[in-house]
A and B are shown apart, each in its own frame.
Chain A
Amino acid sequence: MATPKALILRAPGTNCDEETGFAFELAGAQAELVHINELVSGRKALADYQILVIPGGFTYGDDISAGRILANEVRLKIGSRVREFTDQGNLVLGICNGLQVMVKAGILPPLSSDGTQELTLAPNDSGKFECRWSYLRANESSPCVFTSGMGIMYLPVAHGEGKVVANPKVWDHTSIAVQYCDEVGNIEEGYPHNPNGSEQNIAGICDKSGRIFALMPHPERHVIGTQHPRWTREGLKESGDGLQMFINAVNWVKST
């Protein structure tokens, strides 16, 4: 089939759009950076893409709370179009600020019947923005398309608000996709393995279909070998651990 097309959503303060585009291109997709204004105005249409990506950044400065303002803009201005896009069986990926936006916009998990949010990303327990590398384990029982078969991976986090706090009933319709762990996959580890204090060491979640997925760590920052923080002592690998996530997405689109 034709090359899968990924729409990397830009908004004021988005800043991981280019490297996310690069990761998708490496994985064999065609990536296009599209400003939210272009979607709102109708100059660009979601229907022309198979993957919607909300990349990392500090949209609108993360003023008030991380991702809040873009979340409202997405919900109020293009919410129905995003729903249509997901209903049609396409993929959605949120990274870092993208997860914060998706959670607050009700894309993942959906808002409760009275419109309130059931999961949030609170400030890190350390009270600090943390830029460090974390081991992650993909949850084998999760239906997640992106992390399928991935096992343990090593990816950087860089955020100040990444602590997952959830109303337990959210797990009726949402699945834990990736969890912070140590180098051998133990998911009970505390700080700094769990860099933010997330409950159950949750690093990423997906919907029941596995097609809507978002995580705090940055898979796009580990797609080539030289990005690994210890490659000068452990040797240079051909690709980085995060690349498989993008390849999985591309392959899934190709196979459907």
Chain B
Amino acid sequence: MLRIEVWNKPGFPDPRAEGLKKDISDLGISSIEHIDISNVYSLTGDLSQDDADRICKEVLVDPIVQDYRSEMTTGTPKRVNGFSVEVAYNPGVMDPIEFSLKKAITDLGIDNVNTIKTGNKYVLRGNVSEDNLQSIVNKLLLNPVIQHVVTSEEHRDADAHDCEFELTTVDLIGISDDELESIGSHKLSLNLEEMKRIQQFFTSIGRNPTDAELETLAQTWSEHCGHKTFKGKITLGDTVVDNLLKSTIAKATKELDKPWCLSVFVDNAGVIDFDGEYALCFKVETHNHPSAIEPYGGASTGIGGVIRDPLGTGLGAKPILNTDVFCFGTPDYPHEKLPSGTLHPRRIFKGVRAGVADYGNRMGIPTSNGAILFDDRYVGNPLVYCGTLGIMPSNIAKAGQQKPGDKVVLLGGKTGRDGIHGVTFASVDLTQESEDTSASSVQIGNPITEKKMLDAILKARDQGLFRRITDCGGGGLSSAIGEMAEETGVKVYLEQVPLKYSGLSYTEIWISEAQERMIVAVPPEYVQQLLDLCEAENTESTVIGEFTDTKRLELFYDGQQVCDLEMDFLHNGTPQVKREAIWEQPQHPEPDFDSPENLTNDLLNILGSWNVCSKEWVIRQYDHEVQGGSVLKPLVGVNEDGPGDATIVTPRLGSKKGAIVSNGVNPKYGDIDPYWMAASAIDEALRQIIAVGGSLERVALLDNFSWGNPTKPDRLGALVRAAQACHDLSLSYGAPFISGKDSLFNEYEVEGETICIPHTLLISAVAVMQDVSKAVSMDAKKEGDLIYIVGLTYNELGGSHYYSNHGFIGNTVPKVDAVKSKKAMDALSSATQQGLIAACHDCSEGGIGVAAAEMAFAGNLGISIKLDFVPLGEKIDRNDYILFSESNSRFLVEVKPENKDAFEKAMDVTDFAIIGEVTGSGTLTVSGIDNRQVIWATVEELKEAWQKPLRW
């Protein structure tokens, strides 16, 4: 074996080592003096010394800043001074560098390398106890789910054994309910009723199922793929909801019947018309459970997966923007309180951020929208929402249809044992043992495989080489081909599927969730052309079957049939789920403290809270400029560091037409009433669109529910209420939902106690903007300009940051009067169209106080406001409540004095008032209803409070 170590020369500090040192000191260990990190490569094969030298000098080592050692060895790492640990990937875990390195070595003309393994060696110097070293290894250097410490005899030679074909059947006919239940709950996540239905079916055809048939049914009927809860029959009090999706969210879309909705709820993403010639395609997904146990891999495959949704919609959309919303435990969560088997929130945060950034950046898709929320109920079950906006010619917006005889072509990555049982894993609660039992569900992404496939697909699409496309996501080939072939039937030859390594059984091939794969239906006459095109783009493509007209799912392995299922039973055989729901509004204690005389500290605390504080550390590590379309960036203002409300891109360079993307999410309100949480999220997403200069004329919404276990009636009751709000608000605003996704079972057990995440509904919105040159940013622009508030302020601090700051939740959750709100939004849109608005910021977390502070420091200008002038919807006699109320449908608007009359005329139909002005003082001053000053703070100190927490 050839072992090569590469490290930085003295004088060229390794930034990775500096970062690690900081992470170690975050653990409270301060005695590490020095860290060296080396990249380790182990190559097997018949390599000469000359080959080894060339590989080092021409590929692995940068001669200016790096040094190396290469040796032929039996594998035992050398002893060094200090504590040394080497970490490598576990067998079977995808290692992108391995693939790239193989190519680079082949390019050198060296083609006798057999295997390549990579790893990292850490040498830590300093006076550190053995306990602390173990803690560093376990908490920072290694995730046992994907990595191991190399001891000796390593690197372990992975995976290389052959699989002897053996047809496996499962005895179901005639067995007892207990036995059925046991088979169903073990790995399949099927309940007794479903297992009985399967037993009945196979009894009627007189044979037992094969393992592949059973797995296919389990995946197709899983909550993840089948959305059993949303399609089920739910009893809530006196009402029975038959199919929650169709009777709420999709119902509103149907009633609105917008002609610009081109494809809704039927394909991998929703599609709306953009400019007559092109269409926008939008989807958001979650990847929660995988991110909990392996944050980097889970998040990167989350973004990788959702990118394939627009690509797999219609005949394929080009991804143009990513949006990411994360929910974690607080970064300062005490290590000693951490449930066993759980990674610390800070580590999850860093891993997720890196996974999303590395994947999105490599794909060349700007990540320019998102949010990050913190609540300690997410400690054991973080949420990772990833979304992608795409663009495609509008004449191919609708899903295609294959014909019998069309070939099934698999594109992209090879298949390995990664991600087996991912969807069934997503359809149960996490337990302490999840980390152990679900390791095979973890996937690592390889963005370049996906990028190559993307390039090839868009070319093939433009040449009209395929009739239909879908992505391999949860459930792998089983879901992709099973769903695609529902109307026709299909034969698949599993031995044709290209594998990463030998040894996979036919069932593993069929259900593997290996990443970066898509399926296209190709007319036989175009097959060769498609294969040639893929080869020219360095992407793998393989014919693995053909569509039939039998309406059967038939799988073969080396000529033997391993699955023969009727499509009708597969897709319609599942019994409708019946569930009980209850809903009772919880009663939280009402706050009993007096309004503080001075509210400056409260404002600084809210600005510096994890939820509100600046996310610049994350945003700058995303490429939000690639593709060149960015018009309004996530960070705006005089120093380009203020919090923009929504992002605007021009998907077609040179055109003035833009797409606005925003999101609304506030799980705190769900602790009081999920109906108003959902309503608030919708209002917030729409407010942001209006704030940047958009209009409600063409806005489409996505719903993403991350919820607790829906078999528990209180969780389900909350879900029903939230879905009802989606229906009601969608109708009132005229903003249809076009797609969505639910991730249920987000609960985890800690020492016998079940913790449920806060019910979290993410609303994502996309709007078409006619002329991006009308866009407005939130930063204060000029001294002397007037500050208006639009919308009424109510005593609505339930779930607010202000209450939370004082240890209360309260009950007065913000509500939405959508009819009134829509009027105000329409008026504001018309004012921006007329160029009357200099700056606009929506009031959300922290109310008027936070909005005014953010406008001031983003513009590096002062603002002075009087609470006495704030128009109220009900009597409020406290300064703190007026300043920090989180009432919906409100905006702070900056208007030049010369536009005063025109602006007021445009806003005539709604509630608004001048509450202050932009000043040159460099301070935010707020005087209360009694004319006493309640806030006086410099913009520097406000900004510092806001930036400090996440300046990592």
Contacts and interface: CB of A to CB of B under 8 A. Distances in A.
B628 A19 contact: yes
B65 A229 contact: no
B892 to A, nearest CB: 16
Interface string B764-790: 000000001101110101000000000
Interface in B70-119: 96-97, 99-101, 103-104, 107-109
B536 to A, nearest CB: 5
A221 B64 contact: no
Nearest to A41: B536
A55 to B, nearest CB: 10
Contacts, number: 182
Given A12-B452, A72-B59, A227 B628 contact: yes
A81 B101 CA distance: 25
Nearest to B781: A233
B16 A60 contact: no
A55 B674 CA distance: 48
B36 to A, nearest CB: 15
Interface in A155-172: 156, 158, 165-167
Given A220-B628, A226-B631, A227-B628, A117 B63 contact: yes
Interface string A169-213: 000000000000000000000000000000000000000000000
A245 to B, nearest CB: 14
Nearest to B97: A63
A63 B96 CA distance: 8
Contacts of A77: 107
Contacts of A26: 654
Contact of B101 (A23, A64, A166, A227): A64
Interface string B441-479: 000001110011001000000000000000000000000
Nearest to A121: B62
A96 to B, nearest CB: 10
Interface string B618-662: 011111111110111101111010000000001001100000000
Contacts of B143: none
B362 interface: yes
Interface in A3-33: 10, 12-16, 18-19, 22-23, 26
A127 B627 contact: no
Interface in A61-80: 61-65, 68-69, 72-73, 76-77
A165 B640 contact: no
Contacts of A22: 628, 653-654
B18 interface: yes
B341 interface: no
A128 B64 CA distance: 20
Name the residue among B57, B620, B628, B779 with the largest chain A CB count within 10 angstroms: B628
A233 B63 CA distance: 46
A125 B626 contact: no
Interface in B360-379: 361-364
Nearest to B537: A35
Given A12-B538, A233-B859, A165 B104 contact: no
A133 B19 CA distance: 24
Given A13-B362, A60-B448, A119-B64, A230 B638 contact: yes
A63 to B, nearest CB: 4
Contacts of A116: 57, 63
Interface string A42-58: 00000000000000111
A134 B455 CA distance: 30
Contacts of A165: 12, 64-65
Given A76-B107, A122-B12, A221-B628, A15 B364 contact: yes
B145 to A, nearest CB: 22
Contacts of B57: 116
Contacts of B908: none
A226 B772 contact: yes
A39 B773 CA distance: 41
Contacts of A128: 15, 620-621
B60 interface: yes
A69 B103 contact: yes
B632 A156 contact: no
Contacts of B103: 60, 69
A132 B625 CA distance: 9
Nearest to B18: A127
A33 B929 CA distance: 64
A123 interface: yes
Contacts of B630: 227
Q: Which of B96, B361, B622 has the most CB of A within 10 A?
A: B361
A129 B623 contact: yes
Interface string B150-163: 00000000000000
A131 B622 contact: yes
Contacts of B446: 61
Contacts of B59: 64, 68-69, 72
Nearest to B628: A19
B100 A236 contact: no
B779 A233 contact: yes
B58 interface: yes
B60, B63, B364, B772: most-surrounded residue (chain A CB, <10 A):
B364
Nearest to A19: B628
Interface in A205-256: 218, 220-221, 223-224, 226-227, 229-230, 232-233, 236
A20 to B, nearest CB: 9
Nearest to B58: A72
A64 B773 CA distance: 42
A64 B64 contact: no
B21 to A, nearest CB: 10
A64 B538 contact: no
A178 B18 CA distance: 29
Given A68-B59, A76-B108, A123-B15, A131 B620 contact: yes
A22 B651 CA distance: 13
B100 A129 contact: no
B447 A61 contact: yes
A167 B64 CA distance: 8
B350 to A, nearest CB: 11
B100 A69 contact: yes
B214 interface: no
Nearest to A26: B654
A116 to B, nearest CB: 5
Interface in A85-135: 116-120, 122-133
B357 interface: yes
Contacts of A220: 628
A254 B853 CA distance: 53
A229 B357 contact: no
Contacts of B108: 72, 76
Given A58-B361, A158-B626, A120 B65 contact: yes
A17 B619 CA distance: 23
A49 B571 CA distance: 55
A218 B628 CA distance: 10
Contacts of B16: 123, 127
A232 B775 contact: yes
Given A13-B451, A58-B361, A131-B622, A229 B636 contact: yes
Contacts of B62: 65, 117, 120, 122
28 contacts: A12-B451, A13-B362, A15-B626, A26-B654, A35-B536, A58-B362, A58-B364, A60-B100, A61-B96, A63-B97, A69-B59, A69-B104, A72-B104, A118-B64, A120-B62, A124-B15, A125-B15, A127-B18, A128-B620, A131-B621, A131-B625, A132-B640, A165-B64, A165-B65, A218-B625, A224-B654, A233-B777, A233-B779
Interface of A: 10, 12-16, 18-19, 22-23, 26, 35, 37-38, 56-58, 60-65, 68-69, 72-73, 76-77, 116-120, 122-133, 156, 158, 165-167, 218, 220-221, 223-224, 226-227, 229-230, 232-233, 236
Given A128-B620, A226-B631, A226-B772, 5 more contacts: A22-B653, A63-B96, A76-B109, A77-B107, A236-B773
8 tightest Cβ-Cβ pairs between the two chains A and B: A15-B364, A127-B15, A19-B628, A63-B100, A232-B777, A120-B64, A61-B448, A58-B362
